[in-house]
Copies of this chain bind each other. A is one copy, B any other.
Amino acid sequence: MKNSLSQRAIIRLTQYHTILRDYSKKGIKNITSSSISKLLEIDETQVRKDVKSINCKGKCKVGYNVVELKDIIENVLDYKVVKKAFVIGAGNLGTALSKYSKFNDYGLEICALFDIDKTKIGQKIDNKDILDLKDIKKYIETSGINIAILTTPNKVAQEVAEFIVNAGVKYIWNFAPTILNLPEGVHVWHENLIGSFLQFCAIENIS
């Protein structure tokens, strides 16, 4: 089912889930499409359409059952399937991502960090080891993990990406602001923070 959803729908569903998690923690039982639409500043019709598309039904004037809708979203988007990954680069961004507790709620488990800085190697961030980048091939062979979150400086991103791909990485979530040129069969997802900000500016007419 996940594959039949659009990219924007997946993003919206994760946003609904954030609200549902907050409501569920507070013990609130029901939520209306109108409340969701106001919190996210999106169209109410869109909310209803999205919820209908994942086969969740609401009650007139009561809304959706918070726990039910939360569970359905978790199933549809495979939150319970754990996806293991490691971070390349134990700098500020790599450290921030490794400490980002919300990832675990959505099935992303960061297992380790890799760096080349000898003063960092051997230390831990949030109980995750910082390992020597030169040992990554062995780590991949032993752990079977092949998803890398790339947070190196821009200048070395291409070189490091080639190195980790040779070591067995198949999927790269790339935070370095450069487009990587890699062999076919390696899947790269460019995290475009600036694109996101420009969207914000365009939509809200900030200038």
Q: Name A's interface SS.
A: helix
| Distance A83 CA – B205 CA, assembled complex (angstroms) | 11
**Interface membership of A93, Cβ < 8 A:** yes
Number of copies: 2
List of B residues within 8 angstroms of A207 by Cβ: 78, 81, 83
Cβ contact within 8 Å between A78 and B201 = yes
List of B residues within 8 angstroms of A93 by Cβ: 92-93, 96
Q: Shortest beta-carbon distance, A156 to chain B, in Å? A: 14
Q: Give 1 or 0 for each of A5-24: 1 = CB within 8 Å of chain B CB.
A: 10110110011001100100
Residues facing B in A147-202 (CB within 8 A) are 147, 154, 171, 173, 177-179, 181, 187-202
**Interface membership of A135, Cβ < 8 A:** no
Select A179's contact among B2, B19, B205, beta carbons within 8 Å. Answer: B19
**Interface membership of A77, Cβ < 8 A:** yes
**Interface membership of A40, Cβ < 8 A:** yes
**Interface membership of A203, Cβ < 8 A:** yes
List of B residues within 8 angstroms of A83 by Cβ: 201, 206-207
Chain A residues bordering chain B, tally (CB within 8 A): 62
| Distance A199 CA – B201 CA, assembled complex (angstroms) | 23
Cβ contact within 8 Å between B7 and A206 = no
Q: Shortest beta-carbon distance, A176 to chain B, in Å? A: 9
Chain B: which residue is nearest A3 at the CB level? Answer: B202
Can you name 30 A-B residue pairings with CB atoms under 8 Å? A3-B202, A7-B8, A7-B202, A11-B196, A11-B199, A14-B192, A14-B194, A15-B190, A15-B192, A18-B178, A18-B190, A22-B179, A40-B190, A41-B187, A77-B202, A83-B201, A83-B207, A93-B93, A105-B194, A106-B194, A106-B198, A108-B197, A147-B206, A171-B204, A171-B206, A173-B200, A187-B204, A189-B199, A189-B204, A191-B196
